[in-house]
Amino acid sequence: MLLAYRLPREPSTPRSGLWRKLRRLGAAQVLDGLAALPLDARNREQLEWLADEVVEAGGEATIWVGELTSAAQERELARSMAEAVAADYRTLIADAEAARLEPPGRRRRTLGRLRRELRRIRSRDYFPPRERELAQQAVEELVALVEEPVG
Amino acid sequence: MRWATRRHCHVDRAACAWLIRRFLDPEAEFVFVDDPDEVPADATPFDMRGVELSHHGGDCSFETFLRRYELADPVLWEIAKVVHEADLADERYDAPEAPGLDVLLRGLSMVRDDEQLLALAGPLFDGLYEYRKRALLLGREPA
C-alpha cells in the first residue's frame, strides 16, 4: 500500500515527525512524497493515522493499494527494504561486539538497549535478510556473557 | 447512549470503550462498523478517521477522550501512556507494559468477537487502573 502526501515546507516539524514514523514502520520511500509498505491490517491503520496527521498539518494525503506491474521492480523494492533493515541489524551486531569489552554493569545496560533495538528492527523486517539471524545470535552471545558469574 | 467504532477492535478502541463505560456513560452501547459512512445517526463515533474523538496531533483516541472530556485523573493519564505506546509505539512515552498489552489484546481479538473482546478487556483495564493508582499513591510499583 502507498501513502501519497504533500506537506508544506514550513514548519519542518510535521515533516520530520512523519519521516521518523514512516521509518519506524519500515516504509520504503519510493519518491519524494510517496511511501510504500506491505499491506496488512496494522500497516493500513498506521498509514491512515499518518494521512490524517498530514492533513491536520495543512498538507494533502491519500492512501492507495497497488501493485507493481514489473516483477523485477517488485523484487528490487523488496531488496531495498531488506537492505535497509540489514544495515540496522549490522549496526546492532557491531554494538553487541563492542559491548563485550565493556565493564559488566555497563554491558548489562547495553544488553537491555540492544534487546529493545532488536525488537524494534524485527517489527519492521518484512523481508528478513541473513543479518536477522546474526543479530539474534550476537545478542544471545552477549546474554551468555552478562549471565556469567563475575570474578 | 450509542457509540460507534470500527470493527476488529484493538487496544485503543478497547481502552476507549472501557473509559466510556466506566467514566462517561455506564449504559453505553457499542456499534461496530466497517466504514465511517455506516455510523448510525444517533451514535457518537470514535477512533475512526475524520471524527472528533480520534487521533489528533499525534495523540491516540484514548488521549483525545481525556482531553475532550477534561478527565484530569492522573491515573488515567498513566494508562494513556501505556495505550499510546501499545497503539502507536512511537516512543513518545516510556511504557514498558505497552508491548505486553498490545500482544494480549491482539491475541484476544483473534479468538473473540468485538463484543466479547470489550467485555474481557474491561476487567483488564480495571486492574491496570488499580495498579497504576496504587503505584501513584505509593510512589513505587506495588507488590
Place of cell 498513566: B78
What element of type H or E holds B45? Answer: strand B43-45
Name A123's Cβ contacts closer than 8 Å, sequence gap at least 6: A26, B89
Residue A147 pLDDT class (50, 70, 90 cuts): confident
If you measure CA to CA, which chain A residue comes closest to B50? A52
Closest CA of chain A from B52, distance in Å:
12
B123 in contact with A, Cβ within 8 Å: no
User: What is the pTM (predicted TM-score) of this model?
Assistant: 0.87
8 Å CB contact of A41 and B8: yes
Strands (E), B59-132: none
Q: In this structure, what C-alpha cell is assigned to residue B107?
A: 491475541
The residue among A38, A52, A44, A73 whose CA lies nearest residue A7 is: A52
Give the model confidence (pLDDT) of B56-99 as tens digits.
989 999 999 999 999 999 999 999 999 999 999 988 999 999 99
CB atoms < 10 A from the CB of A73, how many? 10
Q: Which of A148 and A97 is assigned the larger pLDDT?
A: A97
8 Å CB contact of B90 and A41: no
SS3 of A51-72: the string is HHHHHHCCCEEEEECCCCCCHH
Q: In this structure, what C-alpha cell is assigned to residue B36?
A: 465511517
Q: Would you say A71 and B76 are in contact if contact means Cβ atoms under 8 Å apart?
A: no
Looking at residue B133, its amino acid is K
If you measure CA to CA, which chain B residue comes closest to A120? B89
Of B10, B49, B90, which is closest to A21 when you measure between CB atoms?
B90
8 Å CB contact of B54 and A123: no
8 Å CB contact of A21 and B54: no
pLDDT confidence of residue A44: 92
Give the model confidence (pLDDT) of A100-141 as tens digits.
999 989 999 999 999 999 999 999 999 999 999 999 999 999
Give the model confidence (pLDDT) of B19-61 as tens digits.
999 999 999 999 999 988 999 999 999 999 989 999 998 999 9
8 Å CB contact of A53 and B58: yes
Q: Would you say B36 and B143 are in contact if contact means Cβ atoms under 8 Å apart?
A: no
8 Å CB contact of B88 and A17: no
SS3 assignment, position B52 = coil
Of B10, B49, B89, which is closest to A52 when you measure between CB atoms?
B49
Is the preceding omega at residue A11 within 30 degrees of 0, hence cis? yes
> Which of B55, B64, B84 is the mutation pick for testing A, counting most A CBs within 10 A?
B55
> Which of A15, A45, A122 is the mutation pick for testing B, counting most B CBs within 10 A?
A45
Q: How many CB pairs under 8 A join A and B?
A: 24
Q: Would you say A95 and A114 are in contact if contact means Cβ atoms under 8 Å apart?
A: yes
Which chain B residues are closer than 8 Å to A56 by Cβ? 56-57
What torsion, rounded to 10 degrees, do the Cα atoms A78, A84, A89, A93 define?
A: 130
